[in-house]
Amino acid sequence: MLSRFRLPAKLRAILPASRRSHASTVDPFPGHDMADDTLDIPAWHDSPFSRILSARMMEILAIILLIMALAIAASLFSFNPHDPSFNTATGTEPTNLLGRFGATIADGLMQLLGLAGIVPVLVLLAWTWQLLRHHHLDLPLLRLVAAALFCPAAAMTIGLLQLTVPGLGIAWPTSSGLGGETGVFFAQKLLNLVSGETGSMGGILSILISLAILAVFCPLSMGLQGREWRSVGRGLSALVRLPVRALLRSRRATPEAERHVAYPSGSGGPIRHGRPAMGNAPLPSGFIMRNLSRQAERTAPAPTGTTPWSPMQQGAAPWQKPSSAQTQPPPRPDPVPVQEEDALQATQPEDEADNPYARMLAHIRHDPGRTSTVQRRHAEETHDDISGAPLDIQPQELSGPAQQPGFLKRFMAATSPATGAGSGSSGMVEETAYNAAPTMQAATDHAVGMNGAPAHEGSMQPGGASVMPPRPVPPPPGMAPGPLPGMTAPSAWLPPSIGLLNPLPDQNETGPSEEALQANAQMLEKVLDDYGVQGTITDYRAGPVVTLYELEPAPGVRSSRVIGLADDIARTLAVLSVRIATVPGRNVIGIEVPNKTRETVYFPELLLSPAWKENRSKLPLALGKDIAGEPIMADLARMPHLLVAGTTGSGKSVGINAMILSLLYRLSPEDCRLIMIDPKILELSIYDGIPHLMTPVVTEPPKAVSALKWAVQEMDRRYRLMADHGVRNISSYNDRIRHLKASGETPTRRIQTGYDPETGRPVFDEHRLPLEHLPYIVIVIDEMADLMMVAGKEIEASVLRLAQKARAAGVHVIMATQRPSVDVITGTIKANFPTRISFQVTNKYDSRTILGEQGAEQLLGRGDMLFMQGGARITRVHGPFISDEEVEAVVADLRSKGSPVYNTEVLADEQEEEEASSSGKGGGKGSDEDQDSALYEQATELVVRAQRASTSFVQRHLRIGYNRAANIIDQMEREGIISAANHVGKRDVLATKASLGLDRHDPDDED
């Protein structure tokens, strides 16, 4: 049999010479007796052949991984959202570098991971680098798992940044956002979890947690060594320095005059800081990577001393005060054509006495710096009030002259020469353009001038208009003074008259014609077909502000695909914005296109409608009109609380005024009492002194905390009263009290007072129950963000208790904020405020925060809102316009009918704290005399007997407040009973029991 195995010649050639000198045969069987010339072959993994083969295999694998990384990078670089993929049904040819396969891969990564889709490329490149250097990947299974977790962790971090950083509005081609569907999902989950535990710090803690997760999975997935990470850091820093240096050189080289370029009014698309705004044009091939890599080179340089413009900042930060130059840095002059500036600085009203409309609009503030059409589109007002909006703001100029309401036509005709409207192509059939809402601002003690100072009587405003006190408005014909129909107030109370409001103007304008609507529907179908969406417009309904077109998409067209085209459709139709949403219960998609002539909704129009007269709600609110022009009424008692959000200039303050006036026109002070919290001081202070108030308007955050704490205590007291009477809600309680008073009955309650010493049986007493009428209490908080910054935990705790339990007790909260971020509107607050209203917000992430879905960023402003009641479907409502003049007339009428009866207990806690602090600061004998002698003696005896002296020790044993215990400790130190605190805060007891006479009856010494 075969006993020897001959080595091949090639294998013998690569062996060392020392081995080749021996015999070239080897015994393949262990234990076989071999001759001296036998060769022992080394282990397989130690042989040179195995090392060469392993190196070649590593190189082949590295090449495969490099090809995969380059393929994914090329598909992402040339990503186009209009290419055919699983999410896009279109017959056009793909523009992706890798064809349909690359378009599908890029779309999947963008939809799932967003900007984190580049993470797989980085991981593959790191593995390629390791293999090319002939380094083994240790623990390959661990690397794969870490890479699979690294991708969603990066997406979650990016999603958290978009949800928590205000004003982060980078244009993105997919509706899922920068973090993709995965990032948004995990970011929302983490935010809700952390915010529920930590409150207002949830956003920051969530970002820190996500960064910690990234710090774990990134090195695990990459597998790089320490020196390689340092090399990567040096390379990234060099890449960052290069564009910064180039930007600085270009800024020094570019003349100042070249950076101030005036853009024509019809240049198409908004201009921000000398460059087209992102998100309005169709996204070309390779938009993502080119936009991110060349962003610094395309951005127009900023002047010296100012911060360069960032595409993430689409508007002013919510915590910054808006100004007339909010869309540009202050040192940069506005690119305004001279003709437009001269036209806007035209003559002022010549004779206000002869023109009632001139008197009505004498306080309109014009801003000559905000003149171009493009800048007017992005302008934001200084005050969060519709009545402060400049009259010359037009969101978009379309073909044809701008049509205005009747009273504005007469006013402009009587006060200024006619000016031509800006030309431009519209693409729609109607010939009129958007007009700004009529603005009226009364000159009151609370009116604010252009420089921020109060405008007093007779003061001059810019433009020559003299600010005069408001004149009484006579009631219009057919609108005689008197209470509203259906009023349920007591006979002694007379509600305000509708005649106090401004008369309704002549509504001569009509909506769009049938031919115009049909032509617009055909144009809309053509626009959708241009973007690869097939469908048919089946119906349309015209309203006062927008027209709803119902689109029935072709089979296979996803609704998210149509919703993502909102900005492109708005640009093509040359309108301000387009809102697209699905219609619940129907197989259609609603497309809301603004009308070229916007009708104004007036508050008296709602009060005279049959919907208001026939409304029998407990706390009715007149919100406005829907898109079909029908009045929308709501009941605050059934909500039971309302959360309102909206940016500055969106009409939030006017909407709150409409809600407050709705309550004042329907309910008497006996039926409804108000607690108003206004940290901004100027918004709700106008209502100070009306009989409905329980306390003066609260403007200080500490007092707001006390008011909310009192509301919680009042809620608990009302629950005890209702339990004693055996009823379940405030309505049944008041009915029972009314019945008992009418019948003369006296309800009683049995209370056990002790036991009979002779028989041992319990003894009961009969106590009379109070027959107290309980009014509804409505708490209006105008700015929640400011309160959360000052006293976040206390405010949130009180608001949550009220939101959870106060419905049956008749306590209801209307909470408004202009910064709807997750640190202000926490997850627990959202869960307890199912009814919400969102005015116009800056981006879709704020809309998702307040409503749970996007769409509020597409609103038109000036009272345009989305109303979600009880978590049900969202309704678009156009809020009514109320001027400051009307509010002042109603408030003056209410003040003339009686003075308010304030409840001193509402702010009692704050007053007690102020007195305690003031007495503590006085010191000396005055402070000692104010102390309770019995309590002080008890505390002194406690300290001497225990030989321990600390504030917490006295507070815990005597069950008193911390401030009171601290005062007692300070008094003991002044009297020499205890020593001063040493470096660690410990005090020594200097007095003895004998010195204080405590040793005579010391129970410890009796034994």
* 946/958 Cα distance (integer angstroms): 13
Task: Kindly list the distances between the CA atom of residue 985 and the CA atoms of 948, 979, 981, in Å, as whole numbers in the listed order.
Answer: 12, 11, 5
* 406/417 Cα distance (integer angstroms): 17
Cβ-count burial 971-1002 (b if 16+ within 10 Å, e if not): bbbeeebbeeeeeeeebebebebeeeeeeeee
* 859/842 Cα distance (integer angstroms): 10
3-state class (DSSP) for residue 677: strand
Q: Is 646 annotated as a binding residue?
A: yes
Q: How many CB atoms lie within 10 A of CB 720?
A: 9
Residues 6 or more apart in contact with residue 339 via CB below 8 angstroms: none
The helix or strand, by DSSP H or E, that contains position 111, with its residue range, turns out to be: helix 99-112
3-state class (DSSP) for residue 263: coil
3-state class (DSSP) for residue 969: helix
Q: Is 685 annotated as a binding residue?
A: no
| Amino acid present at 411 | F
* 702/791 Cα distance (integer angstroms): 8
Beta pairing class for 5-6 and 631-635: unpaired
Q: Can you list the positions of beta strands (E) in 252-373?
A: 271-272, 275-276
Q: Is 940 annotated as a binding residue?
A: no
Beta pairing class for 579-582 and 546-553: unpaired
Q: Is 647 annotated as a binding residue?
A: yes
* Contact status, residue 992 vs residue 941, Cβ threshold 8 Å: no
Task: Kindly list the distances between the CA atom of residue 91 and the CA atoms of 77, 79, 87, 287, in Å, as whole numbers in the listed order.
Answer: 22, 17, 13, 21
Residue 581: phi and psi, rounded to 5, are: -155, 155
Please count the CA atoms within 13 angstroms of the CA of 1004 that sit on its side-chain side.
5
Residues 6 or more apart in contact with residue 992 via CB below 8 angstroms: 944
Task: Kindly list the distances between the CA atom of residue 331 and the CA atoms of 62, 260, 756, in Å, as whole numbers in the listed order.
Answer: 54, 11, 87
Q: Is 653 annotated as a binding residue?
A: yes
The four Cα atoms 471, 472, 478, 481 give a dihedral, to 10 degrees, of: 170
Cis peptide before 640 (omega within 30 of 0): yes
* 81/968 Cα distance (integer angstroms): 72
Q: Is 649 annotated as a binding residue?
A: yes
Residues 6 or more apart in contact with residue 877 via CB below 8 angstroms: 623, 624, 625, 626, 632, 865, 866, 867
DSSP3 helix / strand / coil % (the chain, rounded to 5): 45, 10, 45
* 856/860 Cα distance (integer angstroms): 9
Pinpoint the alpha helices (H) of 397-537: 406-415, 514-530
> Binding site residues for ATP, as ranges?
646-653
> Binding site residues, as ranges?
646-653
